[in-house]
Amino acid sequence: MKSPAAAPAVALALLATLGACERQQARTSPPASQAGKPPQAPKTQTPLDAIRPLTFKQADPAAEVSLTLSAEIGRYPALRALLYDRETAQLRAFATKADADRKADDGQYPWRQYASERQWDVAAATPRLISLRGMWLDYTGGAHPNHGAAALLWDAAANKEVKPADLFRADADMKALDKAICEAVAAAKRHREGASPPDDVFGCPKWTETTLALAPSTEAGKIGGLMVLIDPYLVGPYAEGDYELILPLSAFRPLLAPTYLDAFAGSPKSSGNPDGSLSFRM
């Protein structure tokens, strides 16, 4: 039998043990707001943009499609991801359509495999603006493939794509740019064998009908002009071909938006070929 003096000591020990258990339960039990909720897996962080390849190719009996991005484009991960994802989605859609056409073909003539090709390179780059130019070629069994130019303008500071119209003031009179393009087309046609001058059938294009890229400047890190890319049929028959025209800064500087004005200076590094022939081909 325990002595009366030992009872308080036993009671104190019991209280200490109960307190320790309660503290342990508080540490291991979820808050009341989470009680009854199923346990959640720990969150994992993924990179903003997984690295995309610089090439893509897919081939089957219905179609062959391919994409090539230049190594320089690889320096801009977000831009690279946007362009790769967009282009491969279009190429896969093309291949899907080709497969449907092949299955629906009546077999009267031998099937001609469809083809689609995309190729991209950097036209000009400053710390703020990255200008890409591309070419596309689609063949769907006709007499010849169709082809044309493409362009993409990237604001590296905002990390987003911008439209060519964003380069110009909202209140700018763009007739000045249309006039400069018309004069450049006429000058190139004078140097191109077999080309006919602008007429009622093939007149001067509006700037919105062309594809615009940027031309590098004689001043490092600046844009020196506009590269105007014109597809076949726009200013002449298919046989006349494409045009690549370089407009100096003096032709459009007053039209530029203040947001991007400081990216432009100097003169174009190259005035282009006199007959407007392309400097970039597949």
Shared domain check, 177 and 138:
no
Higher pLDDT, 35 or 68: 68
> For the residues of 70-92, what is the DSSP string, one character each?
-GGGGG-HHHHHHHHHHHHHHHH
Mean pLDDT for 131-155 is: 95
- How many Cα neighbours within 13 Å face the side chain of 184? 27
Residue 35 confidence (pLDDT): 39
Shared domain check, 231 and 147:
no
Q: Is residue 66 part of a domain?
A: yes
Q: Is residue 279 part of a domain?
A: yes
Residue 129, strand partner residues = 155
How many independent structural domains does the chain possess? 2
Residue 96 confidence (pLDDT): 98
10-39: pLDDT as tens digits? 333 433 443 443 434 333 333 333 434 444
This prediction has a pTM of 0.80
In this structure, the dihedral spanned by the alpha carbons of residues 82, 280, 251 and 73, taken in order and rounded to 10 degrees, is 30
Residue 7 confidence (pLDDT): 42
Mean pLDDT of the chain: 86
Is pLDDT above 90 for 102?
A: yes
Is pLDDT above 50 for 41?
A: no
Shared domain check, 175 and 87:
no
Q: What angle do CA 32, 37, 39 make, to 5 degrees?
A: 115
CATH number of domain containing 199: 3.90.640.20
Shared domain check, 56 and 154:
yes
205-247: pLDDT as tens digits? 999 999 999 999 999 999 999 999 999 999 999 999 999 999 9
Asked if 118 contacts 67 with a C-beta cutoff of 8 angstroms, the reply is: yes
Name which of 234, 237, 91, 261 is nearest 167 in CA terms. Answer: 261
Is pLDDT above 60 for 191?
A: yes
Domain containing 237 equals 164-282
Shared domain check, 276 and 176:
yes
Q: Is residue 12 part of a domain?
A: no
